Amino acid sequence: MITDRALPASGWEVDRQRWERLTALWMIVMLALFPILLGLGAFMRIVQSHLLPTLLPEWFYAVMTLHGLGMVGTWFVGGMAAVSYIVARYVRPRPVISHIAFWATLLGVVLLLVTTLLGKFGVGWYFLYPLPFYPAGVWPTWATWTFLLALAVLGVGWTIWAVDLLYAIAQRYSLRVALGWPYIRSGTGPEIPPALPIVTVSLISALSGFLAAVIILVLSVLEWAGTGFSNDALLMKNLIFFFGHVLVNITMYLGVVLVYELLPHYAQRPWKMSRLVAIAWNTVLFLVLFAYAHHLYMDFVQPQWLQVLGQVSSYFISVPAAVVTIFSTLVLVFGAPMQWTLSSLLLYLGVMGWAIGGVAAVIDSTIAVNVRFHNTLWVPAHFHTYYLMGVVLMLLGFAAHFGREASKQPENGRLAKVIVTLLVIGGYGFLMMFYLGGAQSVPRRYAVYPDEVQQGVTYAQVSLAFIALLTTGVLLYLWETGRRYWHALRAST
Amino acid sequence: MDPLSIFRLFVVIAAAVAAVFLGVGLSTRRQREYSPASGLRTAFFFSLSGILVTFLGVTLPRMPYPSDGEIPDRVIHVVGKQFAFAISENPIETDAQWEEIASFAPPVEIPAGRLIEFRVTSFDVNHGFSLYAPSGRLVAQTQAMPGYLNRLRVRLDEPGRYTILCLEFCGSAHHRMRGVIFVR
């Protein structure tokens, strides 16, 4: 890890053990939830393969809801926990806040399990208004209330977490400096870690997304409490997709923070703060507010200027990412005395997944193309690319790095290569079946494919072979990383 | 724009990205001096921006939204409701009308190659109104949203049976929600 810019020993060292224990706790939860949620995803593809013909579709949709919410939430909290650990070297967030977020997350997970598995609450991870209030006889009223409660609990826990981190950053650097504005103005400024503007941008964006979530919750409760108040479907749709898009985007950016911090360590080269880094991430802060609009292209009543702004923002948000982060990653690694470990391989491949998923996302964010791809399998194809093969690999890279640092155990290099090979072949093979399905107009979120799109069944069946490879890779990863955590735990007790 | 051609373009770009990452990864076998490669970065910035601006220029005029200058040859009314579409040449304004049309009305027939305006809305949750051609291709879509009327204008050139599938998740029988029209 980089230490020259870290807090004085009296600052970081005092809290080091506390942060390490807390981060280990978060990582263990993240790594425990991952295979379960992966299993739920595999279950969905098995159902779509028509291998479980007697299954009631409502179970598919309840599992779909749990899989989506679980994955989005798990990688967001994993990213926040990893970034908190890194940021705690420079600033002083309060561990107690991270603890509160941890317990709020666990409570939220329990409530989501109850509402989906006991209540069969199946609305998709984006709970598009007014579907939660139209159960069609499947889920009871209490399931909707439990879901709203889960959102409220998670929202409160995550909001105070983000606020605390932002406050800690502002206390040491001021937000102006943390966002790199002195670099934008004069090309130089106070020394800050290059990851700091990304963290700051991510947290500010997160708070804007959480604000949208609060408005959604309040409006939903107002309508449902029988006040006679009725919501506007287009407004709710804008709010929901703003919230969802921002949450997913910043999870990606939290993964990028890990690349900025850890990859230079393995490349033995510096990643310095510069005017370009500052401009790039401030541009992202602005564009991320409008990029969500590409989710509403097929709502023709949406003002047309907002549709155009959605495409322009979605296109140009890729420029700072590609020109600064992805390009800089390649320059950093090119000809470097690189230590290729499980961690560095995963971080590097995570950037590649981000780049490839970004290409697919830009294609889909083209309005004229979206009319053929909207809500087909192209959509899960592209977001699984930058999630599964992007931010997930980055976070698995961090978890491996953290486990190795904590346990001081040597790495099995051959096993690391086997793991990475399985993840890449299994992951991209699995994704390719989504892309092929999308290119052939197969709808997403279908428990059973009708005759017109029967090719979806074949793609689901083939994807099972790749899921098997992916799952093997994940289980080997968990074995390799899990034993390090076990050693570290035993050593600390 | 043909989805399969777009898919092929994506595969080529993705393979190029993977090749660059592989090449850079393999370059670490022989160490070189670190260089920020700022000249290359500037060229990359302008190339990427130029490509994106070009694509904006080519694709934005092809947006599927209706323009005021066009007058449709026929208007078809569509109302989604869990879990069926009612499709009619007459406005559908009540649940009773919806029930009657969704359950008993014969499929609407429209002339090939003429400009048709589908006026699409919903009586409950969001649905997705999508037209699948006889060949199985998705040719057009818009959302069916409660409280709003989306106008989808399209010319259907291929004669035959067009299947309408719901493309917005709407509940436990979402995958069974469908409709049909014939193009003659």
CATH of the domain at B91: 2.60.40.420
pLDDT at B121: 98
pLDDT at B100: 97
Q: Which of B124, B143, B169 sits opposite A299 (nearest CB)?
A: B143
Q: Indicate the range of A18-32, A388-402, B36-50, B66-80 predicted with least confidence.
A: B36-50
pLDDT at A8: 54
Shared-domain flag, residues B98 and B23: no
Set of chain B residues whose Cβ sits within 8 Å of the Cβ of A435 = 7, 10-11
Give the domain-ending residue among B39, B62, B85. B62
Q: Examine residue B54 and state whether it is found in any structural domain, yes or no.
A: yes
- Using alpha carbons, list the distances in angstroms from residue A474 to A34, A39, A386, A395, B65: 9, 11, 17, 13, 45
ipTM of this predicted structure: 0.96
Shared-domain flag, residues B55 and B122: no
Chain B residue with the nearest C-alpha to that of A367: B63
pLDDT at A273: 83
Cβ–Cβ contact A331 with B under 8 A: yes
Closest by CA position to A308, among listed A322, A321, A320, A290: A290
Q: Examine residue B96 and state whether it is found in any structural domain, yes or no.
A: yes
Give the domain-ending residue among B24, B39, B62. B62
Q: Examine residue B69 and state whether it is found in any structural domain, yes or no.
A: no
Q: Examine residue B111 and state whether it is found in any structural domain, yes or no.
A: yes
Q: Examine residue B109 and state whether it is found in any structural domain, yes or no.
A: yes
Taking 50 as the threshold, does the pLDDT of residue B142 lie above it? yes
Residue B81: which domain range?
Answer: 74-183
Q: Which of A61, A356, A436 sits opposite B172 (nearest CB)?
A: A61
Shared-domain flag, residues B152 and B100: yes
Q: Examine residue B67 and state whether it is found in any structural domain, yes or no.
A: no
Shared-domain flag, residues B135 and B51: no
- CB pair distance less than 8 Å for A374 and B141: yes
pLDDT at A146: 96
Residues facing B127 on adjacent strands: B144
- Mean pLDDT value of segment B57-63: 96
Domain count across chain B: 2
pLDDT at A411: 87
Shared-domain flag, residues B27 and B90: no
Sequential pLDDT tens for chain A (493 residues)? 434 455 555 556 667 788 888 999 999 999 999 999 999 999 999 999 998 877 889 999 999 999 999 999 999 999 999 999 999 989 999 989 999 999 999 999 999 999 999 999 999 999 999 999 999 999 999 999 999 999 999 999 999 999 999 999 999 999 999 999 999 999 888 989 989 999 999 999 999 999 999 999 999 999 988 788 899 999 999 999 999 999 999 999 999 999 999 999 999 998 888 888 899 999 999 999 999 999 999 999 999 999 999 999 999 999 988 888 999 999 999 999 999 999 999 999 999 999 999 999 999 999 999 999 999 999 999 999 999 999 999 999 999 999 999 888 888 899 999 999 999 999 999 999 999 999 999 999 999 999 999 999 999 999 999 999 999 999 999 999 999 998 888 887 7
Which residues are CB-neighbours of A236 under 8 A, at least 6 positions away? A128, A129, A130, A216, A219
Cβ–Cβ contact A211 with B under 8 A: no
Q: Examine residue B57 and state whether it is found in any structural domain, yes or no.
A: yes
Q: Are A473 and A426 in contact (CB under 8 A)?
A: yes
Chain B residue with the nearest C-alpha to that of A449: B175
Q: How far apart are CA A167 and CA A92, in angstroms?
A: 9
Shared-domain flag, residues B146 and B82: yes
Strands (E), A313-453: none
Shared-domain flag, residues B157 and B85: yes
pLDDT at A2: 38
Set of chain B residues whose Cβ sits within 8 Å of the Cβ of A372 = 1, 3, 6, 138
Interface of A with B in 294-313 (CB under 8 A): 298-301, 304, 307-308, 311-312
Length of chain A counted residue by residue: 493
Helices (H), A49-140: 57-87, 95-113
Give buried/exposed letters for A43-66 (b at 16+ CB in 10 A, else e): bbbbbbbeeeeeeebbbbbbbbbb
Shared-domain flag, residues B115 and B80: yes
SS3 assignment, position B117: strand
Shared-domain flag, residues B157 and B131: yes
SS3 assignment, position B50: helix
Spell out the domains of chain A, with CATH numbers in brackets: 9-358 (1.20.210.10), 359-493 (no CATH)
Cβ–Cβ contact B19 with A under 8 A: no
Q: Examine residue B68 and state whether it is found in any structural domain, yes or no.
A: no
pLDDT at A14: 65
Kindly report the pTM of this predicted structure: 0.95
Shared-domain flag, residues B99 and B161: yes
Shared-domain flag, residues B92 and B163: yes
Shared-domain flag, residues B45 and B79: no
